[in-house]
Chain A
């Protein structure tokens, strides 16, 4: 995939079917081509993304039940491999890692030498990327690669990545991609897209290629043609998932409404509940903020510059000369929500939210971005600058 390709439907091949052994053959082929294959697996009571070599590592027969501040694994009636919505982690963890050493420096007699970090080792192949996550990756592409200052580490990891998307077969109570226009169908930005078809008679994966690399790989796998019945079954899976969305966000005029209400009383109300713990930003697949720190060793001969995930919910993050710009929890929550749903559109040309619901589920006190946005829409605090398109 070219990470700079504009969004839009990629050329897709005619659908074919893979059975479970065929899916294992896909994993094997990716491993054989030198990819570091990352997929879903069970750990610590959640479905996380980690290195896999065998389908046995996948969460067969498990699903996730999610509500605000609550995530629980449950058994499914079948042995679906991708029968869950989304877990606590996103692919951000791999493309935009939590901590990255930028360079090291060593003192010499007459100055110092800088050693850049070696580039990432094996390229990643991601197995089971949801439509919301494809959109999140496209958003981070714009953030890290779309401007004048490209992030070389992100570019290297992203350039080599092979994306196997998955059309969602289940929606969580916290899902709202349908209302964000970001799912549940994987429309573009993937190399291969799968739809899991499982019932008493079969366990197949309807596959289409979305790139030349995807088509080339599909060509060497043991596939069989997908008839109209299989295609219709895949459509039914998507329709059922779309109907099962637990949440909804009305984005019509929302940007203007949020930007017109910086002193809405709801910000105080949510601040009373908000822990300012930063969980929402860290589980968000598009939140990209980092801080950079320099370390030196005891002898004063080596220095290291590291970049790591940070958050608009920490005081340090907005600390400038004289203090933190956002001292209160209210100002931090307002910054996050208005950036995500409003200013992001001005800055990057799209909403920063893809409707994955992670910030809702993984907030320890269950603050719900859709409810907060709806509250500000429904009850204008002070009707200033009523934006065009506002419909509240």
Chain B
């Protein structure tokens, strides 16, 4: 442990912030287990409410931001987080794409409030759920629902070393092929979002003979229309296409556009 960063240099400070989210991505940090001591050794954890009630004021060298912006208060709070942070990295589908709660963007949020809460008048919320990058400058985005802990450690390690993080933008197919998983679309006729989804999860679902659910959002250059045509050829109906593209990353533009192309749940294309 004594061979790490020179002791004359103070450890960079880390803050972890939660906005509208399930906490799953923050848990990925706590889930580091074997590496957690190394994280605490390399970074001075100054603000991490999920882990410690000791919350120190900023500024911070690195802020990890989980969750989306769904309230006017949070729209203000993220500006304060940005102002207090040297680097701001968004973690997870909520922070990078608006999350599952961005389904409200396609509906009237007051209908949801009335359906969910006993006293709707107590609820003050925005009509939309938006990603952090819609509000402040983001230095790096780590995708996934939830994020992958190996990728999180890679980004932190890269930042500490002053190098580019090794987080490829390739499709899940690349991960399946490296792993040696036969394609579930070709070998079984199972509809899969892998060809248009960003890698990062390790291609878990196809390894268990399930189609990809698109947890990591659109891959670079995702040709969703071509994949949708292939799903239809495999017998998928437009309602299932609509729903497949309208999940954790529903508001990510390529997925939003493709889900819109297949109508809505009550009126499939």
Nearest chain-A residue to B185 (Cβ)? Answer: A364
Closest chain A CB from B222 CB (angstroms): 8
Nearest chain-A residue to B196 (Cβ)? Answer: A275
The interface stretch among A42-50, A207-215, A228-236 is A42-50
Could you tell me if B177 and A309 are in contact, using CB atoms closer than 8 angstroms? yes
- A87 neighbours in B (Cβ, 8 Å): 182
Could you tell me if A298 and B38 are in contact, using CB atoms closer than 8 angstroms? yes
A98 at the interface (CB under 8 A from B): yes
Knowing A98-B177, A308-B178, A315-B169, the reply to whether A299 touches B4 (Cβ < 8 A) is: yes
Could you tell me if A298 and B171 are in contact, using CB atoms closer than 8 angstroms? no
Nearest chain-B residue to A315 (Cβ)? Answer: B220
B188 at the interface (CB under 8 A from A): yes
Closest chain A CB from B261 CB (angstroms): 15
Closest chain A CB from B167 CB (angstroms): 10
The interface stretch among B46-54, B63-71, B224-232 is B224-232
Knowing A278-B171, A364-B195, the reply to whether A299 touches B230 (Cβ < 8 A) is: no
Closest chain B CB from A8 CB (angstroms): 33
In chain B between 171 and 216, which residues have their CB closer than 8 angstroms to a CB of chain A? 171, 173-174, 177-183, 185-189, 192, 194-196, 209
Majority secondary structure of chain A interface residues (helix, strand, loop or mixed): loop
In chain A between 123 and 173, which residues have their CB closer than 8 angstroms to a CB of chain B? none
Could you tell me if A272 and B177 are in contact, using CB atoms closer than 8 angstroms? no
The interface stretch among B78-86, B104-112, B154-162 is B154-162
The interface stretch among A25-33, A113-121, A182-190, A288-296 is A288-296
Knowing A98-B178, A316-B168, the reply to whether A299 touches B183 (Cβ < 8 A) is: no
- A69 neighbours in B (Cβ, 8 Å): 185-186, 230
Could you tell me if B161 and A300 are in contact, using CB atoms closer than 8 angstroms? yes
A380 at the interface (CB under 8 A from B): no
Could you tell me if A46 and B171 are in contact, using CB atoms closer than 8 angstroms? no
When the two chains form the complex, which single residue of B153, B183, B189, B226 contacts A298, counting CB atoms closer than 8 Å? B153
Could you tell me if B182 and A298 are in contact, using CB atoms closer than 8 angstroms? no
Could you tell me if B174 and A314 are in contact, using CB atoms closer than 8 angstroms? yes
Knowing A298-B160, A300-B160, A364-B185, the reply to whether A279 touches B195 (Cβ < 8 A) is: yes
A88 at the interface (CB under 8 A from B): yes
A297 at the interface (CB under 8 A from B): yes
When the two chains form the complex, which single residue of A277, A295, A364 contacts B154, counting CB atoms closer than 8 Å? A295
Q: Roughly how many angstroms separate A43 CA and B158 CA in the complex, as a whole number?
A: 37
Q: Please count how many residues in chain B sit with their CB below 8 Å of the partner chain's CB atoms.
A: 51
In chain B between 142 and 172, which residues have their CB closer than 8 angstroms to a CB of chain A? 153-154, 156-158, 160-161, 163, 166, 168-171
Could you tell me if B182 and A48 are in contact, using CB atoms closer than 8 angstroms? yes
B20 at the interface (CB under 8 A from A): no
- A44 neighbours in B (Cβ, 8 Å): 181-182, 187, 209
Could you tell me if A315 and B221 are in contact, using CB atoms closer than 8 angstroms? yes
Knowing A298-B35, A298-B157, A329-B221, the reply to whether A314 touches B185 (Cβ < 8 A) is: no
B72 at the interface (CB under 8 A from A): no
B120 at the interface (CB under 8 A from A): no
A80 at the interface (CB under 8 A from B): no
Q: Roughly how many angstroms separate A295 CA and B177 CA in the complex, as a whole number?
A: 22
Could you tell me if B187 and A72 are in contact, using CB atoms closer than 8 angstroms? yes
A247-288 vs B: 1/0 string, CB under 8 Å?
000000000000000000000000011111111001100000
B1 at the interface (CB under 8 A from A): yes
Q: Please count how many residues in chain A sit with their CB below 8 Å of the partner chain's CB atoms.
A: 50
Knowing A48-B180, A275-B226, A278-B171, the reply to whether A107 touches B186 (Cβ < 8 A) is: no
Knowing A294-B163, A296-B161, A299-B3, the reply to whether A364 touches B192 (Cβ < 8 A) is: yes
A89 at the interface (CB under 8 A from B): yes
B75 at the interface (CB under 8 A from A): no
A301 at the interface (CB under 8 A from B): yes
When the two chains form the complex, which single residue of B157, B173, B178, B188 contacts A277, counting CB atoms closer than 8 Å? B173
B127 at the interface (CB under 8 A from A): no
B134 at the interface (CB under 8 A from A): no
Q: Roughly how many angstroms separate A300 CA and B5 CA in the complex, as a whole number?
A: 7
Q: Roughly how many angstroms separate A340 CA and B138 CA in the complex, as a whole number?
A: 40
Sample of 11 more A-B contacts, CB < 8 Å, known A89-B180, A275-B222, A278-B173? A43-B182, A44-B182, A45-B188, A107-B3, A273-B223, A274-B223, A298-B39, A309-B174, A316-B169, A328-B221, A362-B186
- A residues contacting B by CB (< 8 A) are 43-46, 48, 69-72, 87-89, 93, 98-99, 107, 272-279, 282-283, 293-301, 308-311, 314-316, 328-329, 361-366
- B residues contacting A by CB (< 8 A) are 1, 3-5, 35, 38-39, 41-42, 153-154, 156-158, 160-161, 163, 166, 168-171, 173-174, 177-183, 185-189, 192, 194-196, 209, 219-223, 225-227, 229-230
Mind listing 22 A-B residue pairs with CB under 8 Å? Answer: A44-B182, A45-B188, A48-B180, A71-B186, A273-B226, A275-B171, A275-B173, A276-B171, A277-B196, A282-B173, A282-B177, A283-B177, A295-B154, A296-B157, A298-B41, A309-B174, A311-B170, A315-B169, A316-B220, A362-B186, A364-B192, A365-B227
